[in-house]
A and B are shown apart, each in its own frame.
Chain A
C-alpha cells in the first residue's frame, strides 16, 4: 500500500496520531496502515555488537530489559520520562523517530548512542544514521514507501552519559529543553532537543569538549551554543529560557570534564 499509494500513513502505537482524534475530523479522511500485526517487528534483539530495536519496540519493552538498563541507561531514563506508563506501553521508538517532533524524547538518546535507522521498502533496505536523518522541521530521509523496521545501536563502553529532560513538570511533560550527552572511544556526542527545528547534534559544543575548553560559567557557553541551536519562543517556553537552561545544564553536568582534552 505504501509503495503504490504514498499517501498512506503508517500507524504503530497511535500515541501521536490519535491525539484529539474526534475533534480532528479532517484526519478521518486519510488512509492509515496498521502496523500492529507485524509481530516480528516488536521484540528487541541483542547481538555481539549491537542492540537492535524493532520497528514496533515500545518504551516499556526497553524499560523491562535488564541489559538495556545496564548498557544503555539513557534509553531507560528517556523511556521513563515519556508521558507515563500508559504511553510507555504503547509508544514506539520508531514512531518517535518518524513523528519527527523537535521535542521528542526517544530521539536524543538514540542519537547520542549513534543509532542507525533501518528502512525497508519494495526497493530494498536502506540504513541512515539518525544524526543525518532529519533535514528540516518534520522533514526526514524517509520516502513515503519506506517503513522503519529497526534501529541499530552499537554496543560500546561509555565513560560518561547523561540525559536531561527539562519540562514544566516531572511526568507527562513535553520537553522545553532535552539534552543527551555521551562520551566513549568514538568521542563526545551532545544532542539537543526543543531548541531547533530538528533534534540535532551540537558539533560546536562537542568540539569545545574535545579540545579541552574551560568555561568559567554557563554564560561562557552561550556563543558556542548559538552556533549549534536556534530556539524559539512558543506556547511552552521562550528562547531566552531555553538557551540559558541548556548552557547551565551543560556547564554543571559536565563540570568534571571541562578543561580536559579528549
Chain B
C-alpha cells in the first residue's frame, strides 16, 4: 500500500506492507539507521522516535498508522545542540543513545514538565546498561539550563 507522511520535516510517499513496523521501515527501507532495535517489545526505548511531537516506541507502531502524520527521527536533531550530552558523558557504547537523545531533547523542549515530573521518571522508558544513568540525567539537566527549566533530577 501507498502512504504519505511528513518525515523529518519533508513530505514522503512510501510503498509499504500492512505488517511493517515503523522501526523496520525506517531502518531497512529508508536506511535511517539512527533508530535502533533493542528489544522489540517497547521496554528499552532504543527505537524512540517522535510521532506528532510525542516520543513513542517505533517497534510498536504499524507503519500504516503514521499515514498523514508527522514522524521525526534522531537524524532530524541539530548536532550542534547536543554539546551538553557530549560533555556530561551521556553516551558510552551508544546503542541506547539515539533513543535517549530523542526523549531527552523532547524534555528539553518541554521544560514545564519538570513541574510535575522528575528527569529520572521521564527517562525511565530508555534503558541504558553502560552509564548507570548519571551521565544521561546530568546531560538533560545541562541541556535545560538556559531554557529556564528547573534542574530537578
Answer yes or no: are A and B bound together in one complex: yes
Interface of A toward B, CB cutoff 8 Å: 11, 13-15, 18-23, 28, 32, 34, 36-37, 60, 80, 83-87, 89-90, 170-172
* Complex Cα gap A89–B45 (Å): 13
Once A15-B42, A23-B40 are accepted as A-B contacts, the answer to whether A89 and B56 lie under 8 Å apart by CB is yes
At the interface, yes or no: B59 with Cβ under 8 Å from chain A? Answer: yes
Asked if B98 is at the interface of the complex by the 8 Å CB criterion, the answer is no
Task: Return B25 CB to nearest CB of chain A, in Å.
Answer: 13
How many Å from the CB of A5 to the closest CB on chain B? Answer: 15
Shortest distance between the CB of B140 and any CB in chain A (Å) = 13
Stretch in contact with the other chain, from B78-86, B117-125, B143-151: B117-125
The reply to whether A83 and B61 form a contact with Cβ atoms under 8 Å apart is no
Evaluate contact between B21 and A21: CB separation under 8 angstroms.
yes
Number of residue pairs across A and B with beta carbons under 8 Å? Answer: 85
CA distance A37 to B48 in the complex (A): 22
B62 contacts A14, C-beta separation under 8 Å: yes
Q: Which residues from A are CB-within-8-Å of B124?
A: 84-85, 170-172
Which interface class (under 10, 10 to 19, 20 to 34, 35 or more) fits B? 20 to 34
Interface centre among B21, B40, B43, B57 (most CB of A within 10 A): B57
Taking the nearest CB of chain A, how far is it from the CB of B61, in angstroms? 6
Contact indicator A84/B60 (Cβ below 8 Å): no
Minimum Cβ distance to chain B for residue A96 (Å): 14
B14 contacts partner chain A, Cβ-Cβ < 8 Å: no
Q: A14-B61, A60-B54 in contact; A86/B121 too (CB < 8 A)?
A: no
Interface contact B121-A171, CB-CB below 8 Å: yes
**Is B125 a contact of A171 with CB atoms below 8 Å?**
yes
**Smallest CB gap from B59: residue in A:** A18
Taking CB atoms, residues of chain A closer than 8 Å to B54 are 60, 85, 89
Q: How far is the CB of B19 from chain A (nearest CB, A)?
A: 5
Which residues of the other chain, B, contact A34 by a CB distance below 8 angstroms? 62, 64-65
Which of these, B19, B59, B68, B125, contacts A85 with CB under 8 Å? B125
Query: Of B43, B45, B60, B117, which contacts A14 at CB under 8 A?
Result: B60
What are the interface flags for B37-57 relative to A under an 8 Å C-beta threshold, 1 for contact and 0 otherwise? 000111101001001001111
Question: Which of A21, A22, A34 counts the most chain B CB atoms within 10 A?
Answer: A21
Q: Give Cα A21 to B59, complex, Å.
A: 8
Which of A20, A28, A90 gathers most chain B CB within 10 Å?
A90
- Chain A: which residue is nearest B69 at the CB level? A36
Q: Are B40 and A20 in contact (CB under 8 A)?
A: yes
> Which of chain A's residues have a CB closer than 8 A to the CB of B64?
34
> Other CB < 8 Å A-B pairs besides A18-B60, A85-B122, A86-B125, 15 of them?
A14-B62, A14-B65, A19-B40, A19-B41, A21-B19, A22-B24, A22-B40, A60-B54, A80-B117, A83-B43, A84-B45, A84-B124, A84-B126, A85-B125, A172-B124
